[in-house]
Amino acid sequence: MIDLHTHSTFSDGELIPSELVRRARVSGYKAIAITDHADATNLRTILENVGSFAKKHGHFFDITVLSGIELTHTPPSLIGELVTEARELGAQLVVMHGETIVEPVAPGTNLAAIEAGVDILAHPGLIGEEEVRLAAEKGVCLEITTRGGHSYTNGHVLSLARKYGAKLVIDNDAHAPRDLVSAELRKSIALGAGMTPVEYEQAQRHSWEIVQRIMR
């Protein structure tokens, strides 16, 4: 398993990076990205600290550790600027906090994130057809999430991704130990959203392709 969307105590997660990574390894994950919530105020701090941890200590845990960021509740007009800044500061992975139906995310966030070329659009809620079509064209992955609340629209995201050929990944959006779900539950949630076993394996491969690209 690979999880490209997790949180540590550098934002609202319960675990320091080392414990998050250790617990992921014990739970059977082969790669993990730490993608704490960020805006312009804490972007540099997170990437300097988590980036240093991933680079200097990640390999000691027998798991691939990536340093990323989840831009969160950022005004759509600022997303492109912050995506560029995050990459310049060394983010290996840029995730965008999408327009989930359980939080007051600004309309236009999904489109701005796709246009900016984020790697993953997390829990994109009731994303529109034109946005999914553009995500497919630009290679932006849409997230199927195991996290309660955000997962309410998994079926909608899957349906449009299937229609337009957009890539999908499956992530936990883990904030606590209980969020690092087992392989069995992860697959059950995906299949419960309507994924076929073949689509599930394709999503797994998409995550692995991201890891491979970063680690080259």
- At 25-81, the pLDDT tens digits run 999 999 999 999 999 999 999 999 999 999 999 999 999 999 999 999 999 999 999
What are the φ and ψ backbone dihedral angles of 25, each rounded to 5 degrees?
-60, -45
- The overall average pLDDT reported for the chain is 98
Q: How is 15-73 classified by DSSP, letter by letter?
A: S-HHHHHHHHHHTT-SEEEE--EE-TTTHHHHHHHHHHHHHHHGGGGTSEEEEEEEE-S
Q: Which of 63, 77, 60, 69 is nearest to 31 (CA)?
A: 63
The pLDDT confidence band at residue 19, using thresholds 50, 70 and 90, is: very high
- Using a 10 angstrom Cβ sphere, with 0-12 exposed, 13-18 middle and 19 or more buried, the burial of residue 66 is buried
Long-range CB pairs of 100-106 (<8 Å, 24+ gap) are 100/124, 100/125, 100/149, 100/150, 100/153, 101/125, 101/126, 101/152, 101/153, 102/149, 102/150, 102/152, 103/73, 105/73, 106/73, 106/75, 106/76
pLDDT digit string (tens) for 99-143?
999 999 999 999 999 999 999 999 999 999 999 999 999 999 999
In 3-state terms, what secondary structure has residue 131? helix
Q: How confident is the model at residue 152 (pLDDT cuts 50, 70, 90)?
A: very high
Helix, strand, coil content of the chain in percent (nearest 5): 50, 15, 35
Top CATH class, 2-215: alpha beta
Q: What is the pTM of this model?
A: 0.97
**How far apart are the C-alpha atoms of 54 and 40, rounded to whole Å?**
22
Is pLDDT above 90 for 216?
Answer: no
Residue type, 155: G
Separation CA 81–CA 84 (nearest Å): 5
7 in Cβ contact with 38 (< 8 Å): no
Let me know: does 150 contact 124? Beta carbons within 8 Å: no
Give me the long-range contacts of 205-209 (CB less than 8 A, separation at least 24).
206/141, 206/167, 206/168, 206/169, 207/2, 207/4, 207/31, 207/169, 207/170, 208/2, 208/31
